Structure formats: structure tokens, C-alpha cells
Structure 1
Amino acid sequence: MKKASIIMIAGPLMLLGLYVFPLWTIMLGAPQYPDPLGMNIHINGIRGVNEFDIQNIDGLNHYIGMKTLPKPEEMWEFSTFPIVIGIMIGLGVLIGVLGYLKKVNYKWFLGWFIVMSILGVLGMYDFNAWMVDYGTNLDPNAIMKLANPDGTPMTYKPPLFGHTKMLNFDVTSLPSTGGWMMFTGMMLTVVAYVIGWKNHKAVARKPREVQTS
């Protein structure tokens, strides 16, 4: 159980990377931009991959009626997410320590993973809902008003995951360093659960082996 508990402690600590590295990155490439424009989505705000990327993206968006990228104080998520992540890190480490001291069993490791997974799904849903609003709620007085072949107004929602083509831009949306660190940390808690479960089975098997010998 000690090995499983140490891994359980290490897993949530990997989430500390979210305070340093971006969770997600969206890149926009086009012939007129040899160096693609990019924005890093952090848990506490949006920052450009390069110095003037946010300014350039907002300038492009202005022509097609999209809103400017939100500042941290304009979205409640950027003040709430760091707190939620901090609570989950502290809770996960506490569970690992209590497991090491044999105060809780391995099932708590899986419980933490389930709660974190639910929070992750809710976070992705919220992120996608923001991108839908960002790409479809356009200014009717925009300089450029483009339409699809069927006559409906063109929308500019970036993909939640993967690649799409918007006008002459190739848009790619993928997890970044912080996102991969979070994924790795969560998988470590699953490993801790499996090791704890196997240890529990081994301990439970020993009395039966003694009785039959």
C-alpha cells in the first residue's frame, strides 16, 4: 500500500504544472502569416504564443465581427479554476498521505480520479460553450459579412480538439504542456488504485493459503 500511496501523492502534484504551463493551445496558420498566430489557454487567462499574437488575432476578429479575446477579469472561470485545481491537488495529496498511514484504502484513489474526471468534463464543456459563443455571436455591423454556400451566416468556432479550415486559416486546437501533465497525473492515480487493489487481493489471499497448508 505504501508504493501505491506514494504514486497517489505524485499524481495530483503533477497538476501543479497547470499554474505554470498552458492547458490548451490554439494555432492559426495562413499564407500571409509565415509564423502562425497562437493563443495559450491557461487556467487563469489567455496569452499569446508570441508577443503580439493576441493583438493580431483581435485585429483579424474585428473584421468578421468576433469579440475580442476575454481578459482574466471578464470570465469567472479564470478566477475559479485555479482555486478548484488547488483544492483537488490538496485533497489528492491528503488521500495519498492517509493511504500511506493506512487510514484510508485504495478505493479513495479511484474516488479522487472520478471526481477529477467529472470536473475535467465539465471544464471542457464550458470551454466548448465559450468557443461556440465566441465563433457564432458575431457583430451584425462587422466590416466583413461572409456566408456559407446555403446562404447562412458563416461561423468561426475553433475546434475543441483537432484541426479545421476557417477561410484561409488552418486552425489547430490541442492540449499543451499543462494539459498533458494533468492527464499524466490523473493516470498515475489510476495506477495507484490498481497497485492498491492488487496488494489488497494478495493480502486477502494469504490467510486462505495458510489455512489450506
Structure 2
Amino acid sequence: MKSASILMIVGSALLLGLFIFPLWNIVLEAPQYPDGIGMNIHIDGLQGRDKHDLQNIDGLNHYIGMRKLPKANEMWEFSTFPLVIGGMAALGILIGILGFFKVLNYKWFLAWLILMTVLGILGMYDFNAWMVDYGTNLDPKAIMKMTDADGNPLSYKPPLFGTKDILNFRAHSYPSLGAYLMGLGMFLTFVAFWLGKKKTT
């Protein structure tokens, strides 16, 4: 049980990497931007991949009626997500310590993993809902009003995961290092549960 508890502690602690590394990354490629422009999505705000990327993205979006990218204080998620991640990391570490001293059993490891999975799914749903609103709720007074073959306004929503062509841009949206650390941490907590169960059966 001690080895399982150590894995639980390490796996939970890996979530703290989200306070250092970005969770997600979106890059836009186009002929006028051969190196691409992009943004890193952190749990507490947005950062340009390069110095002027956020400014350039806002400038492009202005022409088609998209709102400016939100500041950290303009979205409740950027103040709530750090609390959730910090709380789940602390809770997981505490469960691991109590498991090490045999105060709790391996079932608590699974309970933490299920809760973290549910919170992760809700976070992804919220992120996608924001991108839908951001890419479709356009200013009717925009300089450029692009429509499809049926005359409906185009959606400029970036993909949640993968690559998508938007006008003359190709948008790439993929997890970044923070997400991989979180995924690894959750995998380690599953291994901790499996080891704990194996040693008590």
C-alpha cells in the first residue's frame, strides 16, 4: 500500500504543473503568417505564443466582428480553475499521505480519480462552449461579413481538438505540456488504485 500511496501523492502533485505550463495551445497559420500566430491557454489567463500574437489575433478578429480575447479578470474561469486545480492537488496529496499511514484505503484513490475526471470533462465542455460563443456571436457592424453558400454567417470557432480551415487560415488546437502532466498524474492515480487493490486482495 505504501508504493500505491506514493504514486497517489506524485500523481496528484503533477497537477501543480498547470500553474507553470499552459493547458492548451491554439495556432493560426496563413500565407501572411508563415510561422503562425498563436496563444497559450493557462488556467489563469491567455498568453501569446510570441510577444505580439494576442494583439495580432485581436486585430484580425476585429474585421470579422469577433470580440477581443478576454483578459484574466473578464472570465470567471480564470479565477475558479486555479482554485479547483490547487484544491484537487491538495486533496489527492492528503489522500495519498493518509493511505501511506493506512488511515484510508485504495478506494479513495479511485474516488479522487472519478471526481477529477468529471471536473475535467466539465472544464472541456465549458471551454468548447466559450469557443462556440466566441466564434459565432459576431458584431453585426463588422467590416467583413462572410457567409456560406446558403447565406448564413460563417462560424469562426476554432476546433476543440485537431485542425480546421477558417477562411485562409489553418487553425491547430492541441493540448500543451500542462495537460500532458495532468493526464500523466491521473494515470498514476489509476495505477495507485490498481496497486492498492492488488495488494489487499
Q: TM-score, normalised by structure 1?
A: 0.94
Question: What amino acid maps onto 1:167 in structure 2?
Answer: L
Question: What amino acid maps onto 1:125 in structure 2?
Answer: Y
Structure 2 distance, partners of 1:160, 1:8, is: 30
* Structure 1 residue 32 displacement after superposition: 0.9
Cα offsets for 1:117-176 (capped at 9, x unmatched): 000000000000000000000000000000011111111000001110000111010000
Question: What amino acid maps onto 2:88 in structure 1?
Answer: M
Aligned partner of residue 5 in structure 1, secondary structure: helix
Match of 1:109 in 2: 109
Structure 2 distance, partners of 1:127, 1:84, is: 15
Aligned partner of residue 198 in structure 1, secondary structure: helix
Aligned partner of residue 143 in structure 1, secondary structure: coil
Question: What amino acid maps onto 2:171 in structure 1?
Answer: V
CA RMSD of aligned residues (A): 0.5
Question: What amino acid maps onto 1:3 in structure 2?
Answer: S
How many residues are treated as equivalent by the alignment?
201
Aligned partner of residue 103 in structure 1, secondary structure: coil
- What are the ranges of 5 or more consecutive residues in structure 1 without an aligned counterpart? 202-213
1:55 aligns with 2:55: yes
Alignment of 1:19-38 (within 5 A): 19-38=19-38
1:160 aligns with 2:160: yes
* Structure 1 residue 103 displacement after superposition: 0.5
Question: What amino acid maps onto 2:169 in structure 1?
Answer: F
Structure 2 distance, partners of 1:172, 1:200, is: 46
Structure 2 distance, partners of 1:19, 1:188, is: 19
Aligned partner of residue 146 in structure 1, secondary structure: coil
Flag the structure with larger Rg. 1
Question: What amino acid maps onto 1:137 in structure 2?
Answer: N
Match of 2:14 in 1: 14
1:119 aligns with 2:119: yes
Match of 1:206 in 2: none
Match of 1:96 in 2: 96
Structure 1 distance, partners of 2:19, 2:33, is: 30
Aligned partner of residue 35 in structure 1, secondary structure: strand
Question: What amino acid maps onto 2:198 in structure 1?
Answer: K
Q: TM-score, normalised by structure 2?
A: 0.99
Match of 1:46 in 2: 46
Structure 2 distance, partners of 1:106, 1:21, is: 30
